[in-house]
């Protein structure tokens, strides 16, 4: 955001002539302006729409500007609204009360045009700062739950989210299953073709799993090394076997490019469904037990010759 045209501003003023004048000034400065005649109308518009700036008169019939500021702050909007009070109250006590109610700044009436625009400019800097902070936070959060190599969720997310899935499944009496997947003889691919090819195979396998499930309801996490967990809410044991078998076949039937031409890559799978007997365990402990059972089933698949699905 670099200029005023990308800022939505709500102007609140009960006096029609003053409102018109201010509206014209703000539009000329490039703001996208909406108006309201009093505090109630303004609050409804703020709660319904996305504004970045509020310029409000203090004295108005009904809800006044100071109360409006307080109500906006109490609403805890998802994005920051910069609020500027226009006031003929000029005692220090009044101004302090306005700022304490949640206004960011004030301009005394009658407002000097260039001062008003300069103060709104300062408001835009705050709004931009808050926006970039929010974007950075989202990005950091995403990084903190993503496996950098494969783009699946990571172990941290698995631990936290699986407990929540267990909680939801228990509360609504819905099935929940987990599939543990492990590439077969993967060490050999690394040894024969190098680690980089190994990495590529891992990424392709992760991609294949993500495409095979119903995102975002179903999700895939890297458990570690070449082991992944597929979490399947609303899915019972039989359904989870179907998903695992589909991925097993997709993998086995589609050779992946490697150092000396395409190579067959297979994987083994262990399936488990959340059991109700575990209802006394904590959600996290029940999630861990679910994974242990899927892992035991995977171990059976490995022992029985690999490239297969076993359900516990």
Residues serving a catalytic function are: 226
Q: Return the H-helix or E-strand segment holding 222.
A: strand 219-224
Residues 149-188 that bind ligand GH3 (CB under 6 A): 149, 182-187
Nearest-approach distance from CB 141 to Mg ion, in angstroms: 28
Please, are residues 83 and 41 in contact by the beta-carbon 8 Å criterion?
Answer: no
Q: Could you say whether residue 21 binds Mg ion (CB under 5 A)?
A: no
Q: Is 38 in the site for Mg ion (CB under 5 A)?
A: no
Q: Which is nearer to ligand GH3, 95 or 263 (CB)?
A: 263
Task: Give Cα 38 to chain centroid, integer Å.
Answer: 35
Residue 72 CB, shortest distance to Mg ion, in Å, is 18
Residue 199 binding: pick among Mg ion, ligand GH3, none (C-beta 5-8 Å cut-off by kind): ligand GH3
Are 75 and 56 a contacting pair, CB within 8 Å? Answer: no
| 193 versus 284: smaller Cβ distance to ligand GH3 | 193
Task: Tell me, residue by residue from 186 to 205, as one string, x for binding to Mg ion by CB under 5 A and - for no binding.
Answer: x-------------------
Q: Does 295 bind Mg ion (CB under 5 A)?
A: no
Whole-angstrom distance between the N-terminal and C-terminal Cα of the chain?
55
Shortest separation between residue 269's beta carbon and ligand GH3, angstroms: 12
| CA–CA separation, 11 and 89 (whole Å) | 19
Structure tokens at 176: 């929940």
* Rg of the chain in Å (alpha carbons): 29
Is 306 a binding residue for Mg ion by CB under 5 A? The answer is no
- H helix intervals, the chain: 16-28, 39-48, 65-74, 92-100, 113-144, 155-172, 186-193, 195-212, 237-253, 283-303
For the bound state, the minimum distance from the C-beta of residue 88 to Mg ion, rounded and expressed in Å, comes to 8
Which among 278, 261, 271, 275 has a CA at the least distance from the CA of 296?
271
Q: How far apart are CA 130 and CA 134, in angstroms?
A: 6
Q: Pick the binder of Mg ion from 38, 41, 182, 273 (CB under 5 A).
A: 182
Residues that bind ligand GH3 (CB under 6 A): 149, 182-187, 190, 195, 198-199, 202, 225-226, 302, 306
Residues that bind Mg ion (CB under 5 A): 14, 57, 59-60, 182-183, 186, 226-227
């Amino acid at each position: 955001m670099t200029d005023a045209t990308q800022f939505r501003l709500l102007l609140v003023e009960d006096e029609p002539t003053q409102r018109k004048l201010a509206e014209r000034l703000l539009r000329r400065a490039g703001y996208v302006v909406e108006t309201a005649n009093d505090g109630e109308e303004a609050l409804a518009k703020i709660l319904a729409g996305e504004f970045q700036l509020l310029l409000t008169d203090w004295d108005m019939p009904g809800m006044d500007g100071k109360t409006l500021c307080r109500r906006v702050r109490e609403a805890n909007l998802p994005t920051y609204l910069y609020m500027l009070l226009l006031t003929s109250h000029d005692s220090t006590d009044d101004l302090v009360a306005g700022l304490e109610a949640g206004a960011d700044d004030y301009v005394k009436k009658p407002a000097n045009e260039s001062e008003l625009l300069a103060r709104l400019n300062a408001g835009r800097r705050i709004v931009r700062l808050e926006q970039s902070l929010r974007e950075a936070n989202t990005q950091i959060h995403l990084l903190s739950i993503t496996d950098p190599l494969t783009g699946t969720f990571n172990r941290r997310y698995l631990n936290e989210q699986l407990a929540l899935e267990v909680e939801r499944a228990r509360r609504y009496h819905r099935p929940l299953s987990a599939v543990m997947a492990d590439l077969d003889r993967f060490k050999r691919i690394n040894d024969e073709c190098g680690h980089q090819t190994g990495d590529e195979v891992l990424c392709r396998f992760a991609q294949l799993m993500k495409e095979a499930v119903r995102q975002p309801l179903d999700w895939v996490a890297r458990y570690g090394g070449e082991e992944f967990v597929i979490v399947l809410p609303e899915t019972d044991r039989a359904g989870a076997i179907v998903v695992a078998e589909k991925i097993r076949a997709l993998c086995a039937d589609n050779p992946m490019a490697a150092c000396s031409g395409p190579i067959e890559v297979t994987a083994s799978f262990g399936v488990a469904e959340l059991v109700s007997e575990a209802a006394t365990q904590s959600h996290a402990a029940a999630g861990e037990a679910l994974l242990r059972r899927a892992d035991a089933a995977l171990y059976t698949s490995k022992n029985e010759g690999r490239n297969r699905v076993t359900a516990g």
